[in-house]
Amino acid sequence: MSHDVHVEARSEEEYKYNRRKASQAMRNQVTVFAIMIFLTFVAFATVQAGFSAFLVVPLILLFAGVQVALQLYYFMHLSEKGTGIMQFFMYSGMIVAFTMILAFVTIIWW
Amino acid sequence: MNLKSKFTPQSWPEHPELSTAEGKNKVVGFWIFLGGETVLFATLFATFLALKNKGPSGMEFTTQNLFELPLAFIMTMLLLTSSLTSVYAMYHMKNYNFKGMQAWLAITVLLGLGFLGLEIYEFTHYVHEGFTFSQSAFGSSFYTLVGTHGLHVVIGLAWIVLLMVRNAGRGLNLYNAPKYFIASLYWHFIDVVWVFIFTVVYLMGVIK
């Protein structure tokens, strides 16, 4: 494990630029949060409104998928560079997860 | 440069959690763990979906007459908001603002505690109605799925509180920045799982 860490001191200009970039990124995160809140509201509202299950179920599953994607790519920073290996492991987990759920809701019954 | 050396906001790296080999390994290793956690929760979701509303003949408990949406809605809002507050905490971590980070993490913990309190209330309410873990296959699968998520919330809260207490007098350095970062990843993952729980268990449960 390396204890030799080379940290380049940033110049004043670079520092200010990075700070501005970070606060812009934070504003984007708040926008993402607003979208997630909105999707949650719509999901609850469609269920409460009592539409047909054939319409509501795919819709709320889609909303859940979008919310999770936003959470993973923005809140958990997977949209940044150099996250390929992390995405590989996460997607591998998701493929196993999807297969398992598919099997349990289709070919297993009581 | 030593891992524990002091920084100024200007000398603090842009990605403190990835600027040491240890930090990089921690983050990648944690994503491998999260991939495994995804599979763990998938088994519990699959079991729940297969055993939903199944039990001894004449069982009165179904998702439709058991679940109450307003409660699930408040719990969802608490956890979603706590996810944003931990994003704020990591924003301050990257700006080398230790007090700001600790304050936002404290808010995260409070929201998490609120969520946990409501979940405990919900479970005790069901148990008083007679819907227990051993009452039916439905009961077992429900409590195992939602309870495992609740356990994750407990672990996440204990983890964040421990980090805050342990590093309170120490301030930020390249040794503990990755620790804070992966604790926040864990907290986001808890919210990811909850998004599916409120959709698949609660919302799909109350649809007639």
User: How does DSSP classify residue A80?
Assistant: S
pLDDT of A23-76, one tens digit each? 999 999 999 999 999 999 999 999 999 889 999 999 999 999 999 999 999 999
Note whether A93 and A54 are same-domain residues.
no
Give the model's pLDDT for residue A5.
62
As a whole-number percent, the residues of chain A with pLDDT over 70 amount to 91
Tell me the ipTM for this assembly: 0.89
Q: Residue A81 — φ and ψ, nearest 5°?
A: -70, 155
CA distances from B50 to B2, B127, B137, B179, B183 (A): 54, 22, 10, 38, 33
Would an 8 Å CB–CB cutoff place A108 in contact with chain B? yes
Report the C-alpha gap between A10 and B10 in whole angstroms.
6
Q: Read off the tokens for B176.
A: 């503990």
Q: Read off the tokens for B70.
A: 């307003």
Which residues in A79-109 are b (16+ Cβ under 10 Å) and which e?
A: eeeebeebeebbeebbebbeebbeebeeeee
Q: Read off the tokens for A11.
A: 């110049």
B208 pLDDT band, cuts 50/70/90, is confident
Report the C-alpha gap between B188 and B204 in whole angstroms.
23
Identify which of B1, B42, B208 has the shortest CB distance to residue A5. Answer: B1
User: Which residue does chain B place closest to A76, by CA atoms?
Assistant: B185
Note whether A54 and A88 are same-domain residues.
no
Give the model's pLDDT for residue B88.
96
Tell me chain A's radius of gyration from C-alpha atoms.
21
Note whether A13 and A40 are same-domain residues.
yes
Q: How big is the A-B interface in CB pairs under 8 Å? A: 154
Residue A97 domain boundaries: 81-110
Note whether A68 and A86 are same-domain residues.
no
Give the model's pLDDT for residue B61.
93
Task: Count up the domains in chain A and report the number.
Answer: 2
CB contact under 8 A, A5 and B14: no
Distance of CA B116 to the CA centre of its chain: 10
Note whether A72 and A19 are same-domain residues.
yes
Maximum mean pLDDT: which of A13-17, A52-56, B192-196: B192-196
Give the model's pLDDT for residue A1.
46
**What value does the mean pLDDT take over residues B152-157?**
98
CATH topology (fold) of B16-53+62-206: Four Helix Bundle (Hemerythrin (Met), subunit A) (1.20.120)
For the cut 50, the answer to whether the pLDDT of residue B76 exceeds it is: yes
Would an 8 Å CB–CB cutoff place A90 in contact with chain B? yes
User: Which residue does chain A place closest to B4, by CA atoms?
Assistant: A3
Note whether A65 and A87 are same-domain residues.
no
Minimal Cα–Cα distance from A73 to chain B, Å? 11
Note whether A40 and A94 are same-domain residues.
no
Report the C-alpha gap between A52 and B200 in whole angstroms.
16
What average pLDDT is seen over chain B? Answer: 94
Would an 8 Å CB–CB cutoff place A70 in contact with chain B? no
Note whether A29 and A64 are same-domain residues.
yes
The residues near B204 (Cβ < 8 Å, ≥ 6 apart) are A57, A60, B63
Find out whether B172 and B96 touch, Cβ atoms under 8 Å: yes
Would an 8 Å CB–CB cutoff place B57 in contact with chain A? no
- Of A4, A5, A73, which to mutate for an interface test with B (greatest number of B Cβ within 10 Å)? A5
For the cut 90, the answer to whether the pLDDT of residue B123 exceeds it is: yes
Give the model's pLDDT for residue A109.
66
Report the C-alpha gap between B40 and B48 in whole angstroms.
13
Note whether A15 and A66 are same-domain residues.
yes
Q: Read off the tokens for B17.
A: 């959690």
Give the model's pLDDT for residue A3.
56
Note whether A57 and A103 are same-domain residues.
no
Note whether A100 and A73 are same-domain residues.
no
Give the model's pLDDT for residue A8.
66
Q: Please choose, from the candidates A10, A3, A26, the residue with its C-alpha nearest in 3D space to the C-alpha of residue B8.
A: A10
Note whether A17 and A57 are same-domain residues.
yes
